[in-house]
Amino acid sequence: MTVRPTSPVLLSYRPWRGTLRGPTYGMWAIARSSLLLLLRRKLFWALYGVSAMVFLLYFYGQYLQSWLQTQIPDEPIRLGSGMVGATVKPKELIDVFRKVLHLDGSGYTFRNFINFESQIVMIVLALAGAVLIGNDFRFGSLPFYLSKPLHRWHYLGGKFLAVGIIINLMTTLPAFVLFVEYGFIDTWDYYWDSIHLLAGILMFGATITIVLGLLLLATATWLRRTMPMIMVWTTLFVFARGISDLLVISFRMDPRWRLIDIWNNLYLVGNWCLRMDPSTIQTPFQPRYVEAAIVLALVCVACVLYLNRRIQAVEVA
């Protein structure tokens, strides 16, 4: 029996038949993979649930007040008896309750809401920094990204995009939904009269996104692990507040010492975005809005310069 030799079967190269896109589209791929890593964490969903509860408090609180105003009669009622009794109108009590909590769709409403939500965002980012960025440095994933036809800033842009999506999902988007809701409950004139509030919401959200996003990228590339990230962020956003209060309130030093508190600077810039009067700030002895904005701008520039130096130091085979 004669066996005929057969030619070997060679694997042929199959060219890509889809549409080739530029490296800019790689930013979205990096952002998408980063978001998927974060969405798999149960802790993220727990904190996101707390954020949703704050949103529902504001969302249904306005409906509850409107419902009570239609159900409670206008006749005054008497509280107590004898000489200590007093006559009050229930609707006036509801109005006072509404003004105290600022559930009236004013600038106070959105300032307090975004401030509450931002504190939860700060915790989420501190816990997620190692997952989103730090692990790429620890386990050598960054050279893999940079070996592709991607620039270093495309990688950082993709990570920043993922962080920005998280921040805006928990701050800007819910605040926009509240703005739309207050227009439905009040009148259509609310939208026209409060258009500056909508612009302030977007500006405040953009400020938080830029500052916290760049801080997260810088600290995550520096520390890489979760526990050091939590310690540094606690120092920046918690201990700095206590130190500034001690210097300004207890030692009667210049109010500009509050500029060391990044969180307070974000709060002041948010007041400026929403056109809030400086006299409405609860904490006394505050620097000017423009001074807080300058400090935040310097922090962002320092983060960008550090990221540029840190990414350039990565060797790509």
DSSP line for 125-147: HHHHHIIIIIHHHHTT-HHHHHT
Q: For residues 127 and 85, which has the higher predicted lDDT (pLDDT)?
A: 127
Type and span of the H or E element at 222: helix 195-223
pLDDT score, position 120: 93
pLDDT score, position 169: 94
pLDDT score, position 159: 92
Encoded amino acid at 241, one letter: R
Asked if pLDDT for residue 80 goes beyond 60, the answer is no
Residue 79 pLDDT grade (very low, low, confident, very high; cuts 50, 70, 90): low
Burial of 72 (0-12, 13-18, 19+ CB in 10 A): middle
78 DSSP β-pair partners: 87
Over residues 182-194, mean pLDDT: 84
Over residues 5-13, mean pLDDT: 57
Residues 167-176: b if buried by 16+ CB within 10 A, e if exposed: bbebbbebbb
pLDDT score, position 186: 73
Can you read off the two tokens belonging to residue 52?
A: 């949703």
Q: What is the residue extent of each domain of the chain?
A: 34-48+106-312
Percent of the chain with pLDDT over 90: 42
Residue 271 pLDDT grade (very low, low, confident, very high; cuts 50, 70, 90): very high
Q: For residues 91 and 121, which has the higher predicted lDDT (pLDDT)?
A: 121
Residue 96 CB coordination number (10 Å): 11
Give me the torsion for CA of 123, 283, 293, 261, rounded to 10°: -50
Return the top range by mean pLDDT from 63-77, 139-153, 197-211.
197-211
Task: Judge whether 316 and 146 are in contact, CB under 8 Å.
Answer: yes
Asked if pLDDT for residue 232 goes beyond 60, the answer is yes
pLDDT score, position 13: 60
Over residues 184-213, mean pLDDT: 91
Taking only the tens place, the pLDDT of each residue in 150-165 is: 778 888 899 999 999 9
Asked if pLDDT for residue 105 goes beyond 70, the answer is yes
Helix (H, G, I), strand (E, B) or coil at 81: coil
pLDDT score, position 274: 93
Which of these, 168, 64, 165, 171, lies nearest to 116 by C-alpha position? 171
Strand ranges in 131-276 using DSSP code E only, listed in sequence order: none
Task: Judge whether 114 and 171 are in contact, CB under 8 Å.
Answer: yes
Over residues 220-234, mean pLDDT: 88
**Concatenated DSSP letters of 255-296:** GGGGGG-HHHHHHHHHHHHTT--GGG-SSSS---HHHHHHHH
pLDDT score, position 48: 93
CA-to-CA dists, residue 300 to 38, 217, 295, 304, angstroms: 24, 11, 9, 6
**Mean of all residue pLDDT scores within the chain:** 84
pLDDT score, position 35: 92
CA 289 – CA 117 distance, rounded (Å): 21
CA 151 – CA 154 distance, rounded (Å): 5
Burial of 30 (0-12, 13-18, 19+ CB in 10 A): buried
Give residues with Cβ within 8 angstroms of 119, minimum separation 6: none
CA 63 – CA 105 distance, rounded (Å): 12
Q: For residues 102 and 230, which has the higher predicted lDDT (pLDDT)?
A: 230
Asked if pLDDT for residue 104 goes beyond 70, the answer is yes
Q: For residues 63 and 275, which has the higher predicted lDDT (pLDDT)?
A: 275
